[in-house]
């Protein structure tokens, strides 16, 4: 412990590593695998990407989860914060591939086995970064039970789930249109796609009717896909084409003919009103094609090049083919128009390349059986989403869910437990017996394994002690964008495989934006590194700041809030210092607040009970911002500004020492879940503390210590002192000057000495000639020190005050003169208005006296 006499400031950088080490050594981060999950408290961290580094979202989410975990641990529950990382298929594979390319190699050159080995090496070397960074934040997760979504045990859970769903008939293989990412050469999910505005050229192309009676003109931004057209569609209500439905056209550049079909999807006011249908290369065309049983002709391959089916254009890239097709059409005189066209185009969030929609053979999970129970779980309250407004987004998404494409053409990930031999397909946890079996090359979507996180981390499908003790978990805290991607899938998988919801509460936190309102991102250069912020302001400050600035909507990063947290840590440090420099090593453990105890002791102990009750409720309601700011208000606005100032005039006897240390210990314990480092350090130094604060009980409010009379008295005292200080300031009285005064107020008599000390009044030298009179609760304070007053300043102040009072009086009089108000407003409100008016009139009269 630092020597308090010499240290005037809290130094986070010195304290944090030592305190973190004491916590780790205590073993309290590691929940005991015993007891029931209903009695225990557990949170599964949303596993960060193993390639990742801590960003503000992680820091906020870590602060939230740690506050919850520490709160419940202090409340005596056996707690477990399940920690680990996600193998992040595409992101990790790309990361390692980049290195190989730098080395002049490639994954193809290495071969699958050596490549995967290389990724594991990479993970060994760099995969621990984000876990270490969480430690800097003070996160009290279970570092001993760290899990990885590719662990051997985890892999077994994944295979089990795959096989069970396959046996259910929920997993199947099909030709389907997927979002093909040419960059990562894999299918990716809808949520990994982002739409961007792009200006393309809209080409109009003539398709001649086979009966020679004319032509149909279609509009498209992808002329090269016409080689895969299998129909032309028009809206059935479109008069322009009424006679053409059922007729045939010749598809230019090929020797094929297409039928003109009718489908409601076609918009009559877009383009020419006639739509070329390419089922294998456009999502909408795919739907129409399936409705009409059209052929799916694949003309663009997975390598982004035109296939054999593209005839003369085979081998060209899609872009080259577009140029060639347009040229050929122009030559044949079939190009009817071209104009710039701006529209939203899908791009891969992973590789940044433009998505090529194409039909390929993929594995899918049907959602028909899985989604309804997950909707039900939220509707009936087994899973509560906070804030509740997010529930609708969750259920809306699940209600419209489509089959989930789970195969990815990657090497890094869970390889599907599927084997082929000629026409046979085998699905099983272990490889099939016999020769000639070839294993499926594809791996599973990373989210497939992540969806099992809350139970696969605990040893499922075995009923391990960890599983029994901590599943289902209690809370899942996450950002909004993960609500579908992950939360919904966890609920579906949890219900299907464990029969229980994986958590009872979902807390959806703010997204922290850059101070200018843009997204925080590395590529934009708008990111702020939480570790830098911790280095500069301390982990407590960053935690407090993030919690204080967060809300139910997105917020801009506010360094001022972090600095507020830093100030709070320092304030607590110095408040403790003040008490500790005045008490000995041995103090009584209970506050002394019975009859006859000083009013300020009774008051602060009473207020503490109320603040503890409020903070407890706010944590339970996930109102972290209110809790953090409420704590700040208590420490600054009550403990330091008033209580510590009020006791400065007293001798630190045993009673005061016991009470002050009790208040200090309770405040440190109350603040610990939010700002753990400074509170832990101070706890050790306060007499009466036992063991580490992280393992100490959270304060329980004691009704018996709530003291309304003390509350009224100190409340009046504060109003009086504030009024008198304001008067002194307005009258330009020298700060040090003692002013002769007499207090005429029954409400304040008992506490006159305290008031006199705080305002530097000399109650003994009142001359009897009042030079001024100040309204205070229950009466007035008369002042008799004319010399000390700056007459000019005083007059200005009074003039200003008078006009303010007159304005308020007029307003109150107006209200009370309004018959409707008196008749219709609640009686106590009217009475309150009258009382206010009376008070204001008294004050105005005193001003004029």
Q: Give the binding site for RNA (CB under 7 A).
A: 8-11, 190-191, 195, 344, 389, 393, 397, 400, 480-481, 484, 513, 515, 517, 519, 549, 551-556, 558, 560-561, 563-564, 566-567, 569-571, 574-575, 577-578, 581, 626, 629, 636, 640-641, 644-645, 648-649, 722, 725-726, 729-730, 735, 804, 808, 811, 818, 820-821, 824-826, 829, 836
Q: For the beta carbon of residue 592, count every other beta carbon within 10 angstroms.
A: 19
**Which of residues 49 and 552 has its CB atom nearest to RNA in the complex?**
552
| Residue 450 CB, nearest approach to RNA (Å) | 17
| Residue 615 CB, nearest approach to RNA (Å) | 15
Q: Which two tokens stand for residue 723?
A: 């009024």
Q: For the beta carbon of residue 250, count every other beta carbon within 10 angstroms.
A: 16
| Residue 772 CB, nearest approach to RNA (Å) | 15
Strand 555-556 vs strand 512-513: parallel, antiparallel, or unpaired? parallel
Burial of 337 (0-12, 13-18, 19+ CB in 10 A): middle
**Which of residues 611 and 644 has its CB atom nearest to RNA in the complex?**
644
How far is the C-alpha of 45 from the C-alpha of 141, rounded, in Å? 9
How far is the C-alpha of 820 from the C-alpha of 822, rounded, in Å? 6
How far is the C-alpha of 448 from the C-alpha of 454, rounded, in Å? 13
Residue 194 three-state SS:
strand
How far is the C-alpha of 344 from the C-alpha of 184, rounded, in Å? 21
Please state whether 214 falls in left (phi above 0), alpha (psi between -120 and 50) or beta: left
**Which of residues 310 and 671 has its CB atom nearest to RNA in the complex?**
671
Residue 545 three-state SS:
helix
| Residue 405 CB, nearest approach to RNA (Å) | 13
Residue 741 three-state SS:
strand
How far is the C-alpha of 345 from the C-alpha of 355, rounded, in Å? 8
| Residue 333 CB, nearest approach to RNA (Å) | 35
| Residue 332 CB, nearest approach to RNA (Å) | 35
The residues near 713 (Cβ < 8 Å, ≥ 6 apart) are 599, 603, 747, 750, 751
Is the peptide bond preceding residue 782 cis, with omega within 30 degrees of 0? no
CB 500 within 8 A of CB 509: no
| Residue 692 CB, nearest approach to RNA (Å) | 24
CB 704 within 8 A of CB 599: no
Q: What Cα–Cα distance (Å) separates residue 226 from each residue in 103, 208, 252, 593, 664?
A: 41, 14, 8, 88, 77
CB 363 within 8 A of CB 406: yes
| Residue 766 CB, nearest approach to RNA (Å) | 22
**Which of residues 190 and 376 has its CB atom nearest to RNA in the complex?**
190
Residue 456 three-state SS:
helix
How far is the C-alpha of 458 from the C-alpha of 464, rounded, in Å? 7
| Residue 339 CB, nearest approach to RNA (Å) | 19
| Residue 746 CB, nearest approach to RNA (Å) | 21
| Residue 802 CB, nearest approach to RNA (Å) | 13
- Per-position DSSP letters for 620-638, written without gaps between them: HTT-HHHHHHHHHHIIIII
How far is the C-alpha of 273 from the C-alpha of 438, rounded, in Å? 49
Burial of 127 (0-12, 13-18, 19+ CB in 10 A): buried
CB 55 within 8 A of CB 527: yes
Q: For the beta carbon of residue 140, count every other beta carbon within 10 angstroms.
A: 25
**Which of residues 418 and 587 has its CB atom nearest to RNA in the complex?**
587
CB 591 within 8 A of CB 705: yes
| Residue 564 CB, nearest approach to RNA (Å) | 4
**Which of residues 571 and 798 has its CB atom nearest to RNA in the complex?**
571
**Which of residues 202 and 306 has its CB atom nearest to RNA in the complex?**
202
Q: Is the dihedral of CA 148, 153, 159, 160 positive or negative?
A: negative
**Which of residues 78 and 667 has its CB atom nearest to RNA in the complex?**
667
CB 281 within 8 A of CB 176: no
| Residue 574 CB, nearest approach to RNA (Å) | 3
| Residue 325 CB, nearest approach to RNA (Å) | 28
**Helix (H), strand (E), coil (C) string for 29-93:** CCCCCCCCCCCCEEEECCCCECCCCCCHHHHHHHHHHHHHHHHHHHCCCCEEEECEEECCHHHHH
CB 349 within 8 A of CB 194: yes
**Which of residues 173 and 815 has its CB atom nearest to RNA in the complex?**
815
Give φ, ψ of 500 to 5 degrees.
-135, 155
**Which of residues 155 and 808 has its CB atom nearest to RNA in the complex?**
808
How far is the C-alpha of 57 from the C-alpha of 68, rounded, in Å? 17
Going by C-alpha positions, the residue among 471, 505, 675 that lies closest to residue 16 is 675
- Beta bridge partner(s), residue 364: 172, 405
| Residue 202 CB, nearest approach to RNA (Å) | 17
Q: For the packed helices 129-136 and 56-74, what is the interaxial angle rounded to 10 degrees?
A: 60
**Which of residues 14 and 109 has its CB atom nearest to RNA in the complex?**
14
Q: What Cα–Cα distance (Å) separates residue 508 from each residue in 29, 394, 842?
A: 24, 11, 52
The alpha helices in 349-410, defined as continuous H runs, are 371-379, 389-399
**Which of residues 305 and 825 has its CB atom nearest to RNA in the complex?**
825
């Amino acid at each position: 412990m630092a020597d308090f006499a010499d240290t005037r400031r809290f130094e986070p950088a010195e304290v944090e590593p030592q305190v973190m080490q004491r916590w780790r050594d205590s073993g309290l981060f590691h929940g005991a695998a015993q007891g029931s999950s209903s009695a225990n408290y557990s949170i599964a961290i949303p596993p960060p990407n193993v390639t990742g580094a801590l960003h503000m979202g992680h820091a906020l989410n870590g602060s939230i989860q740690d506050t919850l975990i520490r709160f419940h641990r202090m409340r005596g529950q056996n707690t477990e914060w399940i920690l680990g990382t996600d193998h992040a298929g595409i992101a990790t594979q790309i990361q390692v591939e980049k290195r190989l390319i730098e080395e002049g190699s490639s994954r193809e050159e290495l071969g699958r086995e050596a490549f995967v080995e290389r990724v594991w090496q990479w993970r060994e070397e760099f995969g621990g970064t984000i876990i270490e960074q969480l430690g800097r934040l003070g996160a009290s997760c279970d570092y001993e039970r760290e899990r990885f979504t590719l662990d051997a045990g985890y892999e077994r859970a994944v295979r089990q789930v795959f096989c069970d769903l396959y046996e259910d008939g929920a997993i199947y293989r099909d030709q389907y249109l997927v979002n093909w990412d040419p960059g990562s050469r894999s299918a990716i999910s809808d949520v990994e796609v982002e739409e961007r505005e792009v200006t393309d050229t809209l080409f109009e192309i003539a398709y001649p009717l086979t009966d020679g009676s004319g032509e149909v003109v279609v509009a498209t931004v992808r002329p090269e896909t016409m080689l895969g057209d299998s129909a032309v569609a028009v809206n059935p209500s479109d008069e322009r084409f009424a006679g053409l439905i059922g007729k045939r056209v010749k598809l230019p550049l090929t020797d094929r003919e297409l039928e003109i079909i009718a489908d409601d999807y076609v918009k009559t006011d877009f383009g020419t009103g006639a739509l070329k249908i390419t089922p294998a290369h456009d999502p909408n065309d795919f739907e129409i094609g399936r409705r009409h049983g059209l052929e799916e002709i694949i003309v663009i391959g997975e390598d982004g090049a035109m296939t054999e089916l593209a005839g003369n254009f085979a081998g060209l890239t899609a872009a080259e083919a577009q140029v060639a097709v347009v040229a050929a059409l122009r030559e044949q005189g079939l190009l009817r128009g071209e104009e710039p066209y701006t529209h939203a185009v899908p791009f891969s969030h992973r590789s940044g390349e433009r998505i090529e929609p194409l039909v390929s053979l993929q594995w899918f999970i049907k959602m028909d059986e899985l989604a309804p129970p997950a909707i039900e779980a939220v509707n009936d309250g087994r899973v509560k989403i906070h804030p509740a407004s997010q529930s609708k987004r969750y259920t809306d998404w699940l209600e419209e869910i489509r089959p989930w494409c789970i195969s990815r053409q990657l090497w890094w990930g869970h390889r599907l437990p599927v084997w082929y031999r000629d026409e046979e397909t085998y699905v099983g946890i272990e490889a099939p017996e016999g020769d000639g079996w070839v294993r499926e090359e594809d791996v599973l979507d990373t989210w497939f394994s992540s969806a099992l996180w809350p139970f696969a981390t605990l040893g499922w499908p075995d009923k391990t002690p960890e599983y029994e003790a901590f599943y289902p978990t209690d809370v899942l805290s996450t950002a909004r964008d993960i609500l579908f991607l992950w939360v919904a899938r966890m609920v579906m998988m949890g219900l299907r495989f464990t029969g229980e919801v994986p958590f009872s509460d979902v807390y959806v936190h703010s997204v922290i934006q850059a101070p200018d309102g843009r997204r925080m991102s590395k590529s934009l250069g708008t990111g702020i590194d939480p570790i830098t912020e911790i280095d500069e302001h301390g982990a407590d400050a960053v935690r407090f700041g993030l919690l204080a600035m967060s809300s139910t909507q997105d917020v801009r990063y506010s360094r001022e809030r972090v600095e507020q947290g830093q100030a709070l840590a320092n304030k607590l440090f110095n408040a403790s210092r003040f008490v500790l420099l005045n008490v000995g090593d041995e103090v009584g453990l209970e506050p002394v607040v019975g009859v006859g105890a000083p009013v300020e002791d009774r008051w602060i102990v009473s207020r503490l009970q109320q603040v503890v009750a409020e903070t407890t409720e706010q944590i339970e309601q996930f109102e972290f911002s209110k809790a953090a700011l409420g704590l700040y208000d208590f420490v600054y606005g009550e403990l330091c500004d008033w209580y510590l100032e009020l006791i400065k005039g007293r001798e630190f006897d045993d009673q005061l020492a016991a009470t002050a240390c009790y208040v200090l210990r309770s405040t440190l314990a109350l603040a610990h879940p939010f700002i753990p480092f400074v509170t832990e350090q101070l706890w050790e130094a306060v007499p009466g503390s036992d063991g580490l604060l992280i393992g100490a009980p959270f304060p329980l409010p004691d009704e018996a210590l709530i003291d309304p009379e003390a509350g009224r008295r100190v409340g009046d005292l504060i109003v009086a002192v504030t009024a008198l200080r304001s008067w002194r300031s307005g009258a330009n009285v020298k700060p040090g000057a003692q002013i002769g005064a007499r207090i005429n107020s029954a409400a304040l008599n008992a506490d006159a000495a305290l008031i006199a000390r705080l305002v530097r009044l000399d109650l003994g030298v009142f001359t009897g000639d009042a030079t001024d009179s100040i309204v205070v609760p229950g009466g007035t304070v008369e002042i008799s020190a004319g010399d000390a007053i700056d007459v000019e300043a005083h007059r200005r102040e009074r003039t200003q005050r008078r006009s303010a009072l007159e304005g308020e009086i007029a307003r109150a009089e107006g209200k009370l003169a309004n018959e409707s108000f008196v008749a219709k407003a609640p009686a106590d409100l009217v009475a309150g208005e009258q009382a206010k008016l009376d008070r204001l009139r008294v004050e105005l009269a005193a001003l004029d006296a």
